[in-house]
Chains A and B, each alone.
Chain A
Amino acid sequence: MLHPSTVLRPFALVLVLLAAGCSDPESPPSAPAQAGPAGQPEPTAPAAKPGAPAKTSNSAMLALQQGRSLLLRGDPKRAEGEFQRAVELDPALAEGHFELGKLRLHLSSQNVGSNARDQEVLERGLASMARALELDPKNDQYAYWLGRGHHLAKHNEEARKYLEQAIALNGENADAYKRLGMVYVDLEQLEPARQAFQKALEHDPKEAGAAMQLGQVELLFGDPAAARAAFERSMAIDPTQPEPYGALAKLLAQQGDDAGASEFEAKHKTWTEFDERLQKCRVAVNKAPDDAVALRRLAKTYLSVDKRDDALEWFLKAVHIDPKDAQSHMYCGILLRERGELEMATHHLKEAEFLDPDHLDPKLELLRLYVATKDDAAFQALLATVEGEASGDGASLQALGEVCHELGRAEDAERLLGKARALGVVPGAEGEGSTEDR
């Protein structure tokens, strides 16, 4: 069985950590294309491109890996030291410069929701990323991040140059198109901005932020129909963002649809309240990136609105930081099972069961998993064990019976529910309930 620390996606998670501290107003960047299914070993860096240095010193690579590991453990300051050491050991290590630059970009801001940055840290980050691109000029991610950094530093012309370079290197880089659109808006060049947001959506149809910003540009062009279509698209992609609802409420009011405006005002309020809760959790994570409980809360917040990919990312981070976090293991198991990544789901659910053997939920989730994997033997064995352990516990037997019923195990269900009734459990009555984390 693989231990979580060996299977997490280092690069993807590094990005996730950076995104947590990302204070620029748009959505954090998505994980790069080279990140694969959760739980699968991944390349440790953006794929080496032709022209990249072929040889690096082992010590430098070790420092680089150590930095990434520290980042995963929520220690960005020490990670910065390791990345710095990596590039000192091997000044031609493009990946090292890149990681250092990206991390400094993150460290230049500690405030989620604030645009202000520590300019000196930001400039050092830009210098590192520029060096990475100089060493590997065909890496579109390096160009993209350098452009992004310049945009955050309000160097709009430089930002445009590097983002256009990123797009020239990879014409499908939706992040670069989206960022370029934002740069053009800041340069007050609205037609190129419109085109860039359209391209971002063409290459990543799930880019809710690009759709929202396209709608804003359409408003400035005086095209409410196009704006409305863009806002509706943004809502369809990500129904949890409040901004499109607010924009649409105004458009509908302008068109005389008061009922529609009221409906979207109400949705705006709902998702604004959610967003405030989410921001609180993000701030907490940002301030204590090694606090697994904070990470778990953030993951649960995402899960509460069905943002299951985001939730999984943060649950995985939580178990990486605290491998004894049984609850996060369980959620990882459930979410991976839903994705069909059954081997990793099994690992996490077994970890959860092992870490908290008195807890029923991991066992129930394992039973569901065994049905999904068609492992009848494992199912029967676990069922027998749990039934034995819960022999005097009517509520647990009731829950076990209900799961068996759900899984089509009618005979088992009937037996277990009968036992529960014999112990005085009334079907449908509320169980012990959950108190933790409420």
Chain B
Amino acid sequence: MRRAWPAGALLLASAAAGCSDEAPAAPEPRATAGDAPDAAAAEEAAYHDDGPYVLRDVTAEAGLSGFHQVNGSAEKPFIVETVGGGCALFDADGDGDLDAYLTNGGRLGAELASNPSDALYANDGRGRFADASAAAGIDERRWTSGVRAADVDGDGACDLLLTNYGPETFYAGDGRGAFVERAAGLGDEDWSTGAAFLDFDRDGDLDLYLANYVAFDEARMLGEHPVTVYQGIEVMKGPQGLPGAPDHFFVNEGGLRFHEASRELGIVEDLFGFQCIPFDFDGDGWLDVFVANDSVANALWRNREGKRFEDVALRQGLAFSLAGRPQACMGIAVGDFDGDLLVDLFATNFADDYSTVYRGQARGFFLDVTQAVGLGPLTMAELSWGTGFVDLDLDGDLELYEVNGHVYPQVDRFPLGMEYHQRAQLFEYDGVRWREPDGRGGRALAAKRAGRGSATGDVDGDGDLDLLIEDIDGPPRLLRNEGRTGHGLVVELVGAGANREAVGARLVARVGERKALFLVGTAAGFLSSCDRRVTIGLGAAEALDELEVTWPLGASERFTGLRAGTRVRIEERPGAPAGVTITGP
């Protein structure tokens, strides 16, 4: 007689066996989604240039509209075609102004040579750009996700690491605007996204954390065309349902040679990684790494004195939202928005979920306070990517922006209450809550695009921060800051040894009783590189009362009398006072 049914305790494994992932039928297409005409007009009217923040779109006059990002086909049937890429603002040629690097994608299955190239645009110092790719030796036709600009070998010239769908590319810069591809020993074939340089072992040079996204089997995917169902619509599959690609850690052997050491250091993550940032969350002097993961728990790799890493995201409060659930994190903003000198984080997320404010607590703990500071309703509808805490009006406190755009073009054809092209958003903090400012940051922010990466920096040399946005399937957006501003001060730290980037340094700026915290080299945003210099808003003050610099290896120095409107270069000199140079008005 049979006893085939387990009448007693059931094995957990039995329950999941055979559960399928098939799709229900798609709904009938209906009228194109979008705002009703009246509501749309009212919404549009909220964007004007009479508010305190005015970002004006100067892409064309700045000479950047000739660049066109290509990100696969319009229908985006594969996840590779949806992520897009980042951009960088950095000084490629050593002339002191910010040049722009724009990443480009491609088409699946196409010959590499037929893909469009990334581009380097040189700044004339007044915010006008010219394509300098050829002269710079940039002919990068791999499908680029992210760009990390940093002086990796400490030779005084900025280098470029490009994270790609496929092997990443390392370009060594000569400081005069030319770049040469170098092997560097990175050798990661996976689809890499976020990159963070940090001196994890305090040996003076920069090591590399590389976040990888999906293990995309191109031949199989092109053959099978797998789909998933989003609100009854068939859309591209992933990242859920696809294998994650493992993150990598590369140890700098000196110069531009790295060796892979992920396993020996305990990094065994094969989740869907996007942005990763180095910062010393627990103040123990060893730089840690936070990784924003898509659809699964985030990772916070605690650095155990340069010998190994362990993921402590859950117990530190960064793995999930307050509800204890994973979100689809994309980009990360880093800053001390509430002025308590503890680092706060902001992670951008998928649509129908809020982007999350993690307020820093003592001893490196974090608490999702989104629904206590006003950002829940403001960020719920958008699918968000690039982000940053920036002091746009130089009044001494931080604003916050996020760049938005959906991943499924199909949403425009169904009444899902969302759109593929979305507006970027700007928020200001009133000391208690975040809100959208009067004018919403200007008419330029009324434009709806499929935004992705972004970078901030003073492009036109007027002392305030401008914003460069990389959209997919179109030109970038250069948004020049034309709002009212207070006084500002730009500080460039130059570290001793090979970590000239001073990654891991902390600045505390004091004006009167007010203090503000800045971190150097955190690689915040989404797959992009902001200007590495720190812009400090002074409001009406004519000078900074005190600037405390804590260098990456722990030495601390104080500086006084730094005047508004200047650019200051502070060079670390171990065993001696730092050198201070005024480099600009």
Contacts and interface: CB of A to CB of B under 8 A. Distances in A.
Physical interaction between A and B: yes
Interface of A: 25, 109-111, 114-120, 154, 185-186, 188, 190, 212-213, 216, 219-220, 242-244, 246-247, 249-250, 252-254, 261, 265, 268, 274, 276-278, 280-281, 283-284, 287-288, 293-294, 297-298, 300-301, 303-305, 327, 330, 334, 358-361, 364-365, 389-390, 393, 395-396, 399, 431-438
Given A188-B377, A244-B324, A110 B24 contact: yes
30 contacts: A110-B229, A114-B230, A116-B417, A117-B416, A118-B232, A119-B415, A120-B30, A188-B377, A190-B371, A212-B324, A213-B323, A216-B322, A216-B323, A220-B322, A242-B324, A243-B323, A246-B319, A249-B315, A250-B317, A254-B361, A281-B19, A283-B21, A287-B22, A294-B19, A303-B10, A361-B5, A395-B1, A432-B2, A437-B6, A437-B14
Nearest to B10: A304
A243 B315 CA distance: 12
B231 interface: yes
Most interface-central of B320, B322, B352, B415 (chain A CB within 10 A):
B322
A185 B27 CA distance: 32
**Chain B interface secondary structure, helix, strand, loop or mixed?**
loop
A323 to B, nearest CB: 17
B4 A277 contact: no
Contacts of B325: 25, 243
B15 A281 contact: yes
Most interface-central of A111, A288, A358, A393 (chain B CB within 10 A):
A111
Contact of A250 (B22, B229, B314): B314
B316 A253 contact: yes
Q: Interface size class for chain B?
A: 35 or more
Nearest to A256: B363
Interface in B1-39: 1-7, 9-24, 27, 30
Interface in B376-424: 376-377, 380, 414-418
Contact of A277 (B16, B20, B352, B418): B16
Contact of B314 (A115, A212, A268): A268
Contact of A219 (B27, B351, B353, B367): B367
Contacts of B320: 243, 246
A120 B27 CA distance: 11
A219 B418 contact: no
Interface in B317-359: 317, 319-320, 322-325, 351-353
Nearest to B380: A154
A393 B2 CA distance: 10
B407 to A, nearest CB: 12
A313 to B, nearest CB: 15
Contact of B315 (A109, A250, A280, A395): A250
A359 B3 contact: yes
**Chain A interface secondary structure, helix, strand, loop or mixed?**
helix
Contacts of B6: 434, 437-438
Given A283-B21, A284-B20, A360-B3, 14 more contacts: A110-B231, A118-B27, A188-B374, A220-B371, A250-B317, A253-B365, A268-B314, A277-B12, A300-B10, A300-B15, A301-B16, A330-B7, A390-B1, A434-B5
Nearest to B352: A115
Contacts of A119: 415-417
A109 B380 contact: no
B372 interface: yes
B369 interface: yes
Given A116-B230, A186-B371, A431 B3 contact: yes
A246 B297 CA distance: 11
B4 A249 contact: no
Contacts of B3: 359-361, 395-396, 399, 431-434
Contacts of B5: 327, 330, 359, 361, 434, 436-437
Given A110-B24, A115-B352, A304-B10, A435 B314 contact: no
Contacts of B322: 216, 219-220
B14 A438 contact: yes
Nearest to A356: B2
Contacts of B433: 188
Contact of A188 (B9, B351, B371, B417): B371
Contact of B324 (A185, A246, A281): A246
A280 B15 CA distance: 9
A431 B30 CA distance: 59
Contacts of B414: 118
Nearest to B6: A434
Nearest to B411: A116
Contacts of A261: 315
Given A220-B371, A220-B372, A435 B19 contact: no
Given A212-B324, A216-B322, A268-B314, A360 B418 contact: no
B417 to A, nearest CB: 4
A359 B3 CA distance: 6
B315 A265 contact: yes
A301 B2 contact: no
Nearest to B318: A250
A435 B24 contact: no
B432 to A, nearest CB: 11
A400 to B, nearest CB: 9
A434 B9 CA distance: 11
B15 A278 contact: yes
A360 B232 contact: no
Contacts of A360: 1-3
Contacts of B369: 220
A120 B415 contact: yes
Given A243-B325, A297-B15, A438-B14, A118 B415 contact: yes
Contacts of A358: 1-2
Contacts of A361: 3, 5, 7
Contacts of B352: 114-116
Contacts of A216: 322-323
A212 B323 CA distance: 8
Contacts of A297: 14-19
